[in-house]
A and B are shown apart, each in its own frame.
Chain A
């Protein structure tokens, strides 16, 4: 299994531009998450999804949108990029339906480093 794959690894945007951060997982996890991590800070939950077709807001959803059309993919959309969105973005997934919900271990992607100038 590749685990959780994020693309791109790095991106520079101009203020007002839009982009989509891609995230895919091949572990048959039904839960997926997007976090942002500002320099020297912890992880803040942006959006999460408990399954295909279901998404919900986390702690810091403003300025972002998500969709979950398949179990594998959970893209994050920035519509009008702002300097405050400069951060490292991590996608994560958890809960293997084949094993049962014994633990909510989250597996993280390698991250996308985004700068908005």
Chain B
């Protein structure tokens, strides 16, 4: 079945450094790729997303890139801050009527002050 692999599972960076999280998806029909942030004990919330007709999208300190040929997409966080510490989930949504989204297993990001 459809699968989304996410790496690394844990990432520790120094405040001010950049963080990169990578995902690979299997379903060629996927055309929408959201990223969710989940703080400890809270609900997941969308932070950025990208559609398959776009290669890169940026929103302040976060950016997402997509390589549809290789079925890879990545989240880039620059100038990391302690409040960026959370679990980040990538996801892929197929272009079907069910809009079923498959999530990656998550990356726990620690930003050390």
Interface-facing stretch out of A13-21, A40-48, A65-73, A74-82: A40-48
Given that A42-B89, A42-B103, A94-B99 are contacting pairs, would A106 and B34 also be in contact in the complex, using a CB cutoff of 8 Å? yes
- Name which of A42, A56, A94 has the most chain B CB atoms within 10 A of its CB: A42
Query: Is B93 a contact of A104 with CB atoms below 8 Å?
Result: yes
Tell me how many residues of A have a C-beta within 8 Å of chain B. 26
Shortest Cβ distance from residue B112 to the other chain A in the assembled complex, whole angstroms: 20
Which residues in window 90-107 of A have CB below 8 A to B? 90, 94-95, 101, 103-106
Residues of B close to A90: CB separation below 8 A = 43-44
Query: Is B103 a contact of A104 with CB atoms below 8 Å?
Result: no
Residues of B close to A31: CB separation below 8 A = 99
Residues of A close to B98: CB separation below 8 A = 48, 50, 56
Query: Is A50 a contact of B44 with CB atoms below 8 Å?
Result: no
Instruction: Give the number of residue pairs across the A-B interface with Cβ within 8 Å.
Output: 53
Tell me how many residues of B have a C-beta within 8 Å of chain A. 24
Residues of B close to A50: CB separation below 8 A = 97-99
Shortest Cβ distance from residue B8 to the other chain A in the assembled complex, whole angstroms: 14
Query: Is A42 a contact of B105 with CB atoms below 8 Å?
Result: yes
Query: Is B43 a contact of A43 with CB atoms below 8 Å?
Result: no
Query: Is B32 a contact of A110 with CB atoms below 8 Å?
Result: no
Q: A61 in the interface, Cβ–Cβ < 8 Å?
A: no
Query: Is A110 a contact of B43 with CB atoms below 8 Å?
Result: yes
Query: Is B32 a contact of A104 with CB atoms below 8 Å?
Result: yes
Residues of B close to A58: CB separation below 8 A = 100
Shortest Cβ distance from residue A98 to the other chain B in the assembled complex, whole angstroms: 17
Residue of A nearest to B42 (CB): A110
Given that A90-B43, A104-B32, A111-B43 are contacting pairs, would A41 and B105 also be in contact in the complex, using a CB cutoff of 8 Å? yes
Query: Is A109 a contact of B43 with CB atoms below 8 Å?
Result: yes
7 A–B contacts, CB within 8 A, in A order: A31-B99, A41-B105, A41-B106, A42-B103, A101-B99, A105-B46, A108-B45
